[in-house]
Structure 1
C-alpha cells in the first residue's frame, strides 16, 4: 500500500509474491481497450461471448446474443459486476482476437513497469500462465486512477443503460463494497485459485492511498483487511501533517 500523493510506501506484506489475481485482471483489460477504442464504438455481443462466461462459471452482464452496445457501456459491465462476456467481446474486437489482445495486455504491463505480471486472458479466469503481485497491481491502480473515464467508472455504485433499438435495458451494481465507505475504486476479483482479491483506493486527509489485497480468505475478509489498512494509513497521514 502506498501514499500515491507522495509516492511513499506505507506498508508491505508479500507484495512481490507472484499470485493469480482473478478479475482484478480487468483493470488492464479496460486500460488496453481505452488505448484502442472510442467510447461510442459499438460492439456486438455474440453467443460465443455469453457461452464463454457461462461455461466457466463466470459472472455475465445479463446480455442476449446480438445485442449491440457502446464501448462505454461495456466498460461499466466489465468493471462493476465484472462481466466476463463483456471482457470476451472487447478482447475479440480490440485484439483483434483474444490472442492478440492478451499480447497487448502484456505489452502494456511491460510499458508500465509491471515486472512481475503476466496476463493469459482478459477476464482473469484461472490459468497457470497468469500471475501478478500486490506491488504491480498497486502501481497499475495508480495509472487507472489517472485515466479519464476509468477513474469515473470504478467509483460508480450502480449504472443503468436504458433500452434502445439494439439492446435491452441493463443495470449493473458494483461489487466493491468499499465504495460505501468513500473509496474511489478499484476492482474486486475471485477464483478458487486466486482467493478473494481487491485493488482499492481512498482519499485520506487529502492524500490518495492505494493498495491491493490478494488471496484473502473470504469476501468479507478482503474488505475488512482493506478497511483496516486504510484506517491505519489515514492515521499515519494525519499524524505526519501535524508533525
Structure 2
C-alpha cells in the first residue's frame, strides 16, 4: 500500500514546523495525552520540501511502514494490513504487560524451565542461570537487548501467573489497544505451536510502538546499546548488548526491537529522532534471517524521509 505524497509532505512538514519552532520536545511528547487523544495539527508550508521520489528505493521487506512517531500517522507503507509472523518483536508486548503490572524492583527467580525452553526451541538467550534472582527491571534489559527468550519466559511465568495466563494478558492488551490483526501465542515470539501462531501487521506494530515508546521505562530499556549487571548475592554478572544494529549505527535511533525466525525472517521495529522529528517504522521479512539487511531497509526508509528535511534546516 502506498500513501499519497501529499499526505507525506503535510505530516512531515508539520513535524518540521514543530521542530524548528521548538513547540515541543520529544520528552514532552512522551508525557503528553494518550495516543487516542492526540490530533495532528497541520500548517501549510511556505515552500515545498524537495521530495524526489514517492517512496523509498531499494526496500526489500515485503511488509513495511514508516510513520510519524507522535501520532502514528503512516507516511509510507507496503502490505500495511497483511498479517505475518513477527518473531521477537512480540517481546515489545511482553515488556508492556510486565511494565503495566508495576513494581519493577520485584525480585524474580529464574525457573529451570526457562533454560530448557530456550534450548528446546533454539531461542536466543540472555545467559540466565536457573535459580538466580533478578528484578523485573533487570529482566527487561535481559529480554530486550540480547533478545533473551529465557528472560521472556521468566517474566511470563512470574506475571501470568504461568505462560497461558501471561499470553492471555498479551492478547487482552492487544485488543485494548485496538490491534485487531495481532495475535500472540508465545511471550518470545517463537514459532510455538506453529510458525504463524504469533503474527501482526505493519499497521498494528506501528500503533504498538507508539504506545510502547510513550512509556519512559520502555524507552530507557529499548534505547540502551549495552547493559552491565554486576554479580550480586543471588545473581551472576551479565553484560548484555543490543541486537539492534540500527541503534548502534544510525544517528538518532532510540530503539526498539529486532526479530528473527525461519518463518518471520529478519524483522525490525525502530524509532529515530533527527532534527527533533520522531519517525517510527517497521520492516518484516527483509531477508530469510540477515539482520543487517533489515537494518539496511530501515536506513533507506529513514534517509528517504529525513534527508530532504535535514538538508533544508538552518544548521551551520
TM-score computed with the length of structure 2 as normaliser: 0.74
Structure 2 CA distance for aligned equivalents of residues 104 and 239 of structure 1: 45
Q: 1:153 aligns with which of 221, 224, 242?
A: 221
| 1:7–1:37 CA distance, 2 compared to 1 (3 A) | closer
Shift of 1:203: 0.7
Say if 2:132 and 2:234, in contact at 8 Å, map to a contact too: yes
Q: 2:205 aligns with which of 125, 137, 140?
A: 137
TM-score computed with the length of structure 1 as normaliser: 0.95
Structure 2 CA distance for aligned equivalents of residues 6 and 55 of structure 1: 40
Shift of 1:241: 7.6
SS of the aligned residue for 2:200 comes to: coil
Match of 1:102 in 2: 167
Match of 1:190 in 2: 260
Shift of 1:88: 0.6
Q: Provide Cα deviations, 1:140-169, integer angstroms capped at 9, x if missing partner.
A: 111111112110111111101111010011
The structure having more radius of gyration, on CA atoms, is: 2
Match of 1:229 in 2: 301
Q: How many pairs were matched up?
A: 242
Runs of 4+ residues deviating >6 angstroms: 239-242
Structure 2 CA distance for aligned equivalents of residues 195 and 240 of structure 1: 37
| 1:117–1:167 CA distance, 2 compared to 1 (3 A) | same
Pair 1:26-2:95 in alignment: no
For structure 1, the 5+ residue unaligned runs are none
Structure 2 CA distance for aligned equivalents of residues 169 and 119 of structure 1: 32
Pair 1:209-2:274 in alignment: no
Match of 2:75 in 1: 10
Structure 2 CA distance for aligned equivalents of residues 72 and 15 of structure 1: 33
Structure 2 CA distance for aligned equivalents of residues 57 and 219 of structure 1: 17
